[in-house]
């Protein structure tokens, strides 16, 4: 008979609960009470990071399929798992408050013992960013990440991060999925013979409503519109988009017609990606505020400039800014162009048979 499962052994609590070893408790050091909290909270973060990576890998696999059936459970599960990541990030943002019960003086009791280790070396945090789509060259002070000397990564961790960065990420895969959406196929649009996107009847009608809704001060948004959705012009005022113009057109279309049941799942997936980006940014902000309180303007144990570096990362490490930026190009619901029956019949539910 196989041995029945036991709570502690199933969860390997012998290992998990034996893994808290404050450096200040070592012989010769002065034990610092709050170092136990400092360790527990980092470990709790890392366990949740592991779960986030597990969910992200699932989503990456689905979007890596050659063809995704929009009516299968696949997309629904992606939505569900992205929403789980959102709940975890919510929790991680709350967790900062537990660490806030440690005062700067409490921290100072063991801080110097931690050098040169730092949260900067959290490989899993880097993997989350990389799998979402943050590329090395988009990072604030990219050279920091290439360090394999003191304060940087071990060679092994660095290689792992680099190989993840060179594998397809979620942004690229979502981009490909969006590019494949058939909404603008000429077959669905009566009298549409021109396959040039900017001459498509939908976009011509849409652009007219959009332009008429802009105030005088906003008229330059038309240039951004043309560049983002049709790659026309070379307006240097806008940040180089990470999504292709074809993907941006589909994403805007989904945002606009989200109230149709058939677009709901796709809409919620895009919305979840935006929210994940925002919650990570909220975490970076809360972490920065906590760091300022703990160490003021001193350099980090990981040898970056400390709060200054974190502020740069906060400003720069958005991944899905193209999607959140779509709000610039929305128009009122009541002014939305009507969709042709041929398209609705293709993407919608079948009518009741008499
Ligand atoms: C007393 C509390 C903390 C202090 C004073 C602190 C300080 C810092 C500093 C100064 C940096 C910049 C790198 C460096 O030079 O060290 C950093 C980065 C980082 N820390 Fe913390 N940290 C604290 C708690 C945490 C916790 C609880 C986590 C949870 C995992 C964490 C995760 C990170 C991560 C992921 C980075 C890299 C951020 C990025 O590159 O955007 N830190 N931390």
Instruction: Report pLDDT digits (tens) over 150-191.
Output: 889 999 999 999 999 999 999 999 999 999 998 999 999 988
Residue 215: count of CB within 10 angstroms of its CB: 7
- Which parts of the chain fold into alpha helices (H)? 7-10, 13-16, 35-64, 73-99, 104-114, 123-132, 155-165, 170-179, 201-212, 221-230, 245-256, 261-295, 307-316, 321-324, 341-347
pLDDT in tens, 263-306: 999 999 999 999 999 999 999 999 999 999 999 989 888 888 89
Contact 209, 203 (CB under 8 A): no
Q: From ligand 1's centre to the CA of 75, what distance in Å?
A: 34
352 in any annotated domain? no
Region 216-224: mean pLDDT is 93
Residue 18 has pLDDT above 60, yes or no: yes
pLDDT in tens, 98-139: 999 999 999 999 999 999 999 999 999 999 999 999 999 999
Region 131-149: mean pLDDT is 92
Q: Which tokens in the block code for residue 122?
A: 């959290």
What are the b/e assignments for 265-283, b being 16+ CB within 10 Å? bbbbbbbbbbbbbebbbbb
Question: Is the bond leading into 116 cis (omega within 30 degrees of zero)?
Answer: yes
Atom of ligand 1 nearest to the CA of 140: 40
Q: Quick check: CB of 144 below 6 Å from ligand 1?
A: no
Region of 338 please: left (phi>0), alpha (psi -120 to 50) or beta. beta
Name the pLDDT band for 351 (thresholds 50, 70, 90).
low
Nearest to 249 by CA among 190, 336, 182: 182
Residue 1 has pLDDT above 80, yes or no: no
Q: For Cα atoms 314, 319, 322, give the angle at the middle one, nearest 5 degrees.
A: 115
- The domain total for the chain is 1
Q: From ligand 1's centre to the CA of 153, what distance in Å?
A: 14
Nearest-Å Rg of the Cα atoms of the chain is 25
117 in any annotated domain? yes
Q: For Cα atoms 6, 11, 17, give the angle at the middle one, nearest 5 degrees.
A: 115
Region 225-238: mean pLDDT is 88
CA distance 308 to 297: 8
Q: Which tokens in the block code for residue 162?
A: 């680099």
94 in any annotated domain? yes
Residue 89 has pLDDT above 80, yes or no: yes
Q: From ligand 1's centre to the CA of 290, what distance in Å?
A: 9
147 in any annotated domain? yes
Q: Quick check: CB of 306 below 6 Å from ligand 1?
A: yes
The residue whose C-alpha atom lies closest to atom 33 belonging to ligand 1 is: 119
- Percent of the chain's residues with pLDDT above 90: 81
**pLDDT at res. 194:** 73
Q: Which tokens in the block code for residue 195?
A: 């396959």
14 in any annotated domain? no
345 in any annotated domain? no
CA distance 88 to 48: 7
CA distance 302 to 291: 13
- Average confidence score pLDDT of the chain: 93
Q: Quick check: CB of 302 below 6 Å from ligand 1?
A: yes
For residue 203, what is the enclosing H or E element?
helix 201-212
Where residue 297 sits, what CATH number does that domain have?
1.20.58.480
CA distance 152 to 162: 14
**pLDDT at res. 248:** 98
Q: Quick check: CB of 45 below 6 Å from ligand 1?
A: yes
Which of 105, 118, 161, 290 for a ligand 1 pocket mutation test, highest count of atoms within 8 Å of Cβ? Answer: 118
CA distance 252 to 327: 9
Least reliable range by pLDDT among 82-91, 175-184, 198-207, 227-236: 227-236
Residues in CB range of 317: below 8 A, 6 or more apart:
129, 134, 138, 139, 140, 280, 281, 284
Atom of ligand 1 nearest to the CA of 317: 41
Q: Quick check: CB of 152 below 6 Å from ligand 1?
A: no
Residue 354 has pLDDT above 70, yes or no: no
10 in any annotated domain? no
**pLDDT at res. 344:** 85
**pTM higher than 0.85, yes or no?**
yes
225 in any annotated domain? yes
**pLDDT at res. 339:** 92
Q: Give me the domain span that covers residue 288.
A: 34-56+72-180+214-330
Q: From ligand 1's centre to the CA of 122, what distance in Å?
A: 9
């Amino acid at each position: 008979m196989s041995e029945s499962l036991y709570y502690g052994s199933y969860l390997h609590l012998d290992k998990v609960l034996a893994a808290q070893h404050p450096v200040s408790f070592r012989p010769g050091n002065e034990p610092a009470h709050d170092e136990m909290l400092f360790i527990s909270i980092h470990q709790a973060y890392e366990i949740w990071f592991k779960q986030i990576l597990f969910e992200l890998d699932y989503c990456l696999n689905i979007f890596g399929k050659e063809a995704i059936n929009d009516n299968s459970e696949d997309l629904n599960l992606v939505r569900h798992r992205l929403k789980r990541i959102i709940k975890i990030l919510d929790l991680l943002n709350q967790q900062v408050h537990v660490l806030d019960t440690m005062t700067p003086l409490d921290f100072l009791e063991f801080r110097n013992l931690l050098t040169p280790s730092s949260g900067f070396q959290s490989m899993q945090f880097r993997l989350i960013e990389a799998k979402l789509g943050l590329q090395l060259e988009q990072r604030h002070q990219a050279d920091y990440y290439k360090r394999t000397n003191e304060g940087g990564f071990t060679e092994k961790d660095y290689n792992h991060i680099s190989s993840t960065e060179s594998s397809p990420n979620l942004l690229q895969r979502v981009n490909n999925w969006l590019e494949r959406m058939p909404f603008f196929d000429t077959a669905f649009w009566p009298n549409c013979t021109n396959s040039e996107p900017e001459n498509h009847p939908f976009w011509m009608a849409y652009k007219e409503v959009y332009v008429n809704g802009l105030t005088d001060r906003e008229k330059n948004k038309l240039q951004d519109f043309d560049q983002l959705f049709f790659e026309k012009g070379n307006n240097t005022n806008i940040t180089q988009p990470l999504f292709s113009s074809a993907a941006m057109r589909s994403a805007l279309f989904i945002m606009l017609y989200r109230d149709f049941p058939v677009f709901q799942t796709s809409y919620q997936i895009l919305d979840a990606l935006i929210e994940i980006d925002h919650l990570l940014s909220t975490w970076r902000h809360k972490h920065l505020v906590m760091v300022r309180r703990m160490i003021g303007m001193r350099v980090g144990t990981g040898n970056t400039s400390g709060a200054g570096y974190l502020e740069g990362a906060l400003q720069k490490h958005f991944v899905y800014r193209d999607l959140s930026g779509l709000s610039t190009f929305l128009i009122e619901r009541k002014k939305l162009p009507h969709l042709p029956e041929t398209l609705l019949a293709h993407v919608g539910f079948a009518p009741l048979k008499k």
